[in-house]
Chains A and B, each alone.
Chain A
Amino acid sequence: MNRHRITLLFLLAASLLLSLFYIPRYNEISGDKEVYRYAGLLLHKGGVPYRDVFDHKPPLIFFVNYVGVLLNGWAQWFIDATLALLATFLFYRLGRKYQIPLPWVPPLLFNLMIRDHLLCLGIGMTREYTAIFVIFFFCIFLGKHRFRYFALGAISGAIFFMQQDQVLQLLPFFLYSFLPGSDPSPVGGRVLRTFLGFASVALPLILYFAWNNALSFFWKDAFLFNLGWYTQTLPESFRDHLIKLKTLMDIGNYEVAVLVTVTLGVCASLFPASQRKLIIIALLAVPLSIVTEFMGGRDQVPKIYQATFTHYVLPLAASIPILLFCVFAFTREPVLSGYKAQGIFSFLVFFSLAYTALQHGTHLKSKDIDEVAESPEIAYIRQQRPPDYQFYVFGSINSLYIANEVNALAPSPWIYQHFWRLYPDWDADLRLLHSIEEDVRRHQTTFILDLTDGGDWFSNPRADAEWHGFLRDNYQPVMENQHLGSVLWKRKEAR
């Protein structure tokens, strides 16, 4: 076996090992992922996203989770690990093709960054998949395959329907591709093939929702909502956003990797280079990959010095290795293009991330000790195993975990409710809240796990009075968890 095959084997083994840290037993419980899992469960039971469950993410993540639900979580892990392995392989092959002195560096950096437990919130987040797709995109972008433009379009579609804003980082690459002279084929043909590729993802999805009379739900929830409510939240200054990004990179140990790579990118764009435009494009893609941070605040108060929404910087796991690749592959500065200099910079970008992975790998935390998974009220529900519509969680998406575990659908499409907390104008006439109450009444839901106690959860006091009045009139408390701030209620007639 030659040296390159051994390197590739080591690289794939490292990727697999890093994925193994997130097998279902050790995969962190995170509210967002529980929502996706729930949507997967709903699909499995014949429901339709947006129509039967509210979320504002595009639909692909629900279909991935649907596959996961089929095999109790392991299938999703398998998909995830395989995608990471494939991206690693393609990225390494690309490095070899472009004769980078150390072709294993960008793929290993990609793996270390995407599996950084301080930021990624476990496996299964939308931006993890889009980061992997971006690597595929880049490998195809630099390739010369016959269906190159079609594949670029298809991957763009996959990214767009997985996490909309992530498509922005592809724009510089597309601009480069469509520039006259960058390819001998006509520009119109290139655009058409790209469009066809995009349509190969978009059309089946549109047909699915049209078939299920859910196109308008799809449009309103997955797109309009994000442009309306989700970007009109807490005003944060540009400086606040910068500080927040700095905090996240610091907390997540991305700091050194990002600083070193961006600095190299800036310097390489000033030094002699064989493809200076590509280095500049890769540089542009870095801020675009984390543009989400600038699209509005998601908290009640700016938490610019705290580790919240850490996954917003996860797309750097693709854009940073891509930039490093471009620097190493295209610089013609004699000093920077040698393996010694690249080795030093590689060590710098790896050190903190490798340390983080080592710490995580040697301190894995099982779900058995998770405070949500093992709280008394969750244990109680686990014991009761309520059927569909007989259990409803209000006020925290983390606790949706138990609904997924007992495979119980919620009585209302509103499986998470933090809009009532974030936006004072949300549901001002309480129409949505009344619809939830109506659904709960209609299904005679037995248990409600409420995490809105304390009087200051709702930003609208009328909503607070309405919901807690409804609970007191129709339900009685079964158990209270002061630590999590939750109360488990049982329907009065259900006694």
Chain B
Amino acid sequence: MTRKNSFVLFFLLGISFLLSLCYCPPFDAMFDDREVFSYGGMAILKGLVPYRDFFDHKPPGIFFINAAGQLLGGGLWGLWVINMVLALLATGALYRICLQNRLHFPWLLPLLFNLMVRDNLVSLGAGMTREYTTYFFVLFFCIFMGKARFRENLLGLFTGLIFFTQQEQVLAVLPFLLYALLTERSRPVYLRIARIGLGFGLVLLPILFYFAWNHSLAYLWEDGFRFNMVWYTAQPKSLGDHFRTIKRCLDAGNYEVPFLIALVLGGTAFFLRHKRKGLLLAALAAFFLSLAPEMMGNRFEGRANPIDSLPYFLPLAGSVCALLFVVFAFSDDAILGSRPIQLPYALLLCCGLAYTALQHSTHLIRRSEDTDINSPALNYLRQHRPGNYELYVFNYDDYIYAYNEFRILAPSRWIYHHMWDWYDKWDTDHALLTGITNDLLRHHTTYIIMDTVRMKQFLNPANAEYWQSFMQTYYEQLPISDTNKNILWKRKDALTYSNR
């Protein structure tokens, strides 16, 4: 590496670090999904087993990453370090292959990748599953483009990491795996499959072993996989609606220009002279497959408002860069491969996202300023600190944060409840709700955080009625809020006892 290239690499790593710094714990906004993952990490460290002892439908990788982060210590800093190091690794690897393949602007794609993956409008903070799979995807792609001795093993390993962090994201690497199997002649196909399988097994086997050891394999299958296929894709959405959602999200996240440029250049390159059209086809397929989560159904907020889920588009940070790399590195046509034509593309790709990053970094909001974190309910609980099983958050995902702040376990495995809001056939006989109420009674849970207004979101009135009747019988609202919104409930006998 020349002195100039070393300087550029140092500069790129510096930018990557600075962008990561915008999401360091004091400034990383609270987001309910990440609170669930964080709770998963804490639960594992306290000896609980994912799915068996708490419900979530994400694969287990994200819980182990969170557990590792907490093991590193420093509160949320450990997880941030893992996150930041992965970003630096991906940046360095991407820059290296750009240099190896003599791109005119080798800094462009690593910079674009960092700007996209740290786009606050899309990522909603650091630590989402698709952020990790995006790092893994970029590392996968860099290994795929390289000539490492254990290349196939590593490809299998990263495929496994992606699959067990966010299942559907594995679709985006399949075209490259197929390309590696079908077009390369370095080793016999069966040997390459075996080597990839071996790499995948390095992730799969420890996970299977862990769950088998804890008699939880069935839970892993039911919650981590089957749930997503049965329930999570149950809300159909028309193709037109998907298209509009994609347009809105790309627009809202400032991804529109990179998306369009990658799409147009990828499509155009296919009809022009190109050294590796098969690879281009694979990159185009990966580009579209990285949008898979949007196409897999509908998510609702309350009863009828479909959610535009911006983090679904975060994987584009990897697939856009991969596609542009293939276009720029192997195009034989001057209109794509020449330096003067790539200059406007370079400016276009980065300027909108650089503006977003600038806006974000100059308007950082402290996590401690979050209204939920400073709510009267949590302030009250800080003074009356609950222990394990003594607090339950019901149908109010933002407050899952409370478990993590107090480092306590929930009394029930159902730590979030929006399935009751989304699916009218969910828990029709309220067996699950009965299970929750039994857990609460068994643990003598003192506090429940619940907003009565949100109960209206329950699709099945019988379920809402059952839950409200339980709450009226055993719990009472604490009048601690200075607004009309009293969300903290206390067990009646506990209330009587403390009053005495």
Does B340 belong to the interface (CB within 8 Å)?
yes
Which residue in B264, B272, B351, B359 is a CB contact (below 8 Å) of A263? B351
Does B338 belong to the interface (CB within 8 Å)?
yes
Are A340 and B272 neighbours in the complex by a CB distance under 8 Å? Answer: yes
Stretch of A345-353, A368-376, A434-442 on the interface side: A345-353
Shortest Cβ distance from A275 into chain B, in angstroms? 18
Are A263 and B348 neighbours in the complex by a CB distance under 8 Å? Answer: yes
Does B261 belong to the interface (CB within 8 Å)?
yes
Are B251 and A263 neighbours in the complex by a CB distance under 8 Å? Answer: no
Task: Kindly name the residue among B272, B335, B343 whose own CB sees the greatest number of chain A CB atoms within 10 A.
Answer: B335
Interface residues of B in 226-273 (CB under 8 A from A): 244, 247, 251, 254, 256-257, 260-261, 264-265, 268, 272
Cβ–Cβ < 8 Å partners of B348 in chain A = 259-260, 263
Number of interface residues of A (CB under 8 A): 28
Does A271 belong to the interface (CB within 8 Å)?
yes
Are A250 and B335 neighbours in the complex by a CB distance under 8 Å? Answer: no
Cβ–Cβ < 8 Å partners of A264 in chain B = 344
Shortest Cβ distance from B424 into chain A, in angstroms? 29
Cβ–Cβ < 8 Å partners of B340 in chain A = 267, 271, 333, 335-336
Number of interface residues of B (CB under 8 A): 26
Look across to chain A and name the residue whose beta carbon is closest to the beta carbon of B343. A267
Shortest Cβ distance from B82 into chain A, in angstroms? 33
Does A246 belong to the interface (CB within 8 Å)?
yes
Which residue in B265, B334, B352 is a CB contact (below 8 Å) of A259? B352
Does B218 belong to the interface (CB within 8 Å)?
no
Task: Kindly name the residue among B261, B265, B340, B355 whose own CB sees the greatest number of chain A CB atoms within 10 A.
Answer: B340
Shortest Cβ distance from B84 into chain A, in angstroms? 29
Which residue in A243, A246, A340, A348 is a CB contact (below 8 Å) of B260? A348
Does B347 belong to the interface (CB within 8 Å)?
yes
Look across to chain A and name the residue whose beta carbon is closest to the beta carbon of B356. A246
Are A267 and B256 neighbours in the complex by a CB distance under 8 Å? Answer: no
Are B261 and A267 neighbours in the complex by a CB distance under 8 Å? Answer: no
Does A452 belong to the interface (CB within 8 Å)?
no
Cβ–Cβ < 8 Å partners of A271 in chain B = 340
Cβ–Cβ < 8 Å partners of B257 in chain A = 255-256, 259-260
Interface residues of A in 206-260 (CB under 8 A from B): 243, 246, 250, 253, 255-256, 259-260
Does A344 belong to the interface (CB within 8 Å)?
yes
Look across to chain A and name the residue whose beta carbon is closest to the beta carbon of B252. A250
Which residue in A334, A352, A355 is a CB contact (below 8 Å) of B334? A334
Are A253 and B251 neighbours in the complex by a CB distance under 8 Å? Answer: yes
Are A348 and B264 neighbours in the complex by a CB distance under 8 Å? Answer: yes
Does B341 belong to the interface (CB within 8 Å)?
yes
Cβ–Cβ < 8 Å partners of B351 in chain A = 259, 263
Cβ–Cβ < 8 Å partners of A359 in chain B = 244
Shortest Cβ distance from A333 into chain B, in angstroms? 5
A250-B251, A340-B335 given; 13 more Cβ-contact pairs under 8 Å: A250-B254, A263-B344, A263-B351, A264-B344, A267-B344, A335-B338, A335-B340, A335-B341, A340-B272, A345-B344, A351-B264, A352-B251, A355-B247
Cβ–Cβ < 8 Å partners of B334 in chain A = 334-335
Which residue in A253, A263, A344, A351 is a CB contact (below 8 Å) of B347? A263
Are B341 and A348 neighbours in the complex by a CB distance under 8 Å? Answer: no
Q: Describe B's contact surface by its main secondary structure.
A: helix
**29 A-B interface contacts by CB (under 8 A):** A243-B359, A253-B251, A255-B251, A255-B256, A255-B257, A256-B257, A260-B257, A260-B344, A266-B347, A267-B344, A267-B347, A333-B340, A335-B334, A335-B335, A335-B340, A336-B340, A336-B341, A340-B268, A340-B335, A341-B335, A341-B341, A344-B264, A344-B265, A344-B268, A344-B335, A345-B344, A348-B261, A348-B264, A351-B264
Interface residues of B in 312-366 (CB under 8 A from A): 333-335, 338, 340-341, 343-344, 347-348, 351-352, 355, 359
Chain A 169-180 near chain B by CB (<8 Å), digits 1 or 0: 000000000000
Chain A 308-338 near chain B by CB (<8 Å), digits 1 or 0: 0000000000000000000000000111101
Look across to chain B and name the residue whose beta carbon is closest to the beta carbon of A270. B343
Task: Kindly name the residue among B244, B261, B344, B347 whose own CB sees the greatest number of chain A CB atoms within 10 A.
Answer: B344
Task: Kindly name the residue among A264, A335, A359 whose own CB sees the greatest number of chain B CB atoms within 10 A.
Answer: A335
A105 to B390, CA, bound (A): 67
B residues neighboring A (CB under 8 Å): 244, 247, 251, 254, 256-257, 260-261, 264-265, 268, 272, 333-335, 338, 340-341, 343-344, 347-348, 351-352, 355, 359
A333 to B343, CA, bound (A): 12
Interface residues of A in 90-112 (CB under 8 A from B): none
Cβ–Cβ < 8 Å partners of A333 in chain B = 340
Cβ–Cβ < 8 Å partners of A340 in chain B = 268, 272, 333, 335
Cβ–Cβ < 8 Å partners of B344 in chain A = 260, 263-264, 267, 345
Cβ–Cβ < 8 Å partners of A338 in chain B = 335
A215 to B24, CA, bound (A): 64
Cβ–Cβ < 8 Å partners of B347 in chain A = 263, 266-267
Shortest Cβ distance from A344 into chain B, in angstroms? 6
Cβ–Cβ < 8 Å partners of A243 in chain B = 359
Cβ–Cβ < 8 Å partners of A266 in chain B = 347
A341 to B254, CA, bound (A): 24
Look across to chain A and name the residue whose beta carbon is closest to the beta carbon of B352. A259
Cβ–Cβ < 8 Å partners of A348 in chain B = 260-261, 264
A452 to B347, CA, bound (A): 49
Cβ–Cβ < 8 Å partners of A260 in chain B = 257, 344, 348
Shortest Cβ distance from B251 into chain A, in angstroms? 7
Look across to chain B and name the residue whose beta carbon is closest to the beta carbon of A351. B260
Cβ–Cβ < 8 Å partners of B359 in chain A = 243
Cβ–Cβ < 8 Å partners of B261 in chain A = 348
Shortest Cβ distance from A278 into chain B, in angstroms? 19
A259 to B359, CA, bound (A): 18
A351 to B272, CA, bound (A): 21
A359 to B251, CA, bound (A): 15
Are A352 and B256 neighbours in the complex by a CB distance under 8 Å? Answer: yes
A255 to B268, CA, bound (A): 22
A264 to B355, CA, bound (A): 18
Cβ–Cβ < 8 Å partners of B343 in chain A = 267
Given A263-B347, A351-B260, A355-B247, CB of A255 within 8 Å of CB of B352:
yes
Look across to chain A and name the residue whose beta carbon is closest to the beta carbon of B351. A259
Are A256 and B256 neighbours in the complex by a CB distance under 8 Å? Answer: yes
Look across to chain A and name the residue whose beta carbon is closest to the beta carbon of B250. A352
A352 to B335, CA, bound (A): 23
Shortest Cβ distance from B253 into chain A, in angstroms? 11
Look across to chain B and name the residue whose beta carbon is closest to the beta carbon of A239. B362
A359 to B333, CA, bound (A): 35
A338 to B333, CA, bound (A): 12
| Shortest Cβ-Cβ A-B pairs, 7 listed | A341-B335, A335-B341, A267-B344, A340-B335, A263-B347, A263-B344, A335-B338
Shortest Cβ distance from B452 into chain A, in angstroms? 27
Chain A 49-79 near chain B by CB (<8 Å), digits 1 or 0: 0000000000000000000000000000000
Cβ–Cβ < 8 Å partners of A334 in chain B = 334
A341 to B264, CA, bound (A): 11
Shortest Cβ distance from B351 into chain A, in angstroms? 7
Shortest Cβ distance from B119 into chain A, in angstroms? 14
Cβ–Cβ < 8 Å partners of B256 in chain A = 255-256, 352
A345 to B264, CA, bound (A): 9
Cβ–Cβ < 8 Å partners of A352 in chain B = 251, 256, 260
Are A256 and B247 neighbours in the complex by a CB distance under 8 Å? Answer: no
Cβ–Cβ < 8 Å partners of B272 in chain A = 340
Interface residues of A in 344-395 (CB under 8 A from B): 344-345, 347-348, 351-352, 355, 359
A243 to B348, CA, bound (A): 18
Shortest Cβ distance from A253 into chain B, in angstroms? 7
Shortest Cβ distance from B272 into chain A, in angstroms? 7
Cβ–Cβ < 8 Å partners of B352 in chain A = 255, 259
Shortest Cβ distance from B372 into chain A, in angstroms? 22
Are B341 and A256 neighbours in the complex by a CB distance under 8 Å? Answer: no
A355 to B259, CA, bound (A): 15
Given A259-B348, A335-B338, A335-B340, CB of A347 within 8 Å of CB of B264:
yes
Look across to chain A and name the residue whose beta carbon is closest to the beta carbon of B341. A335
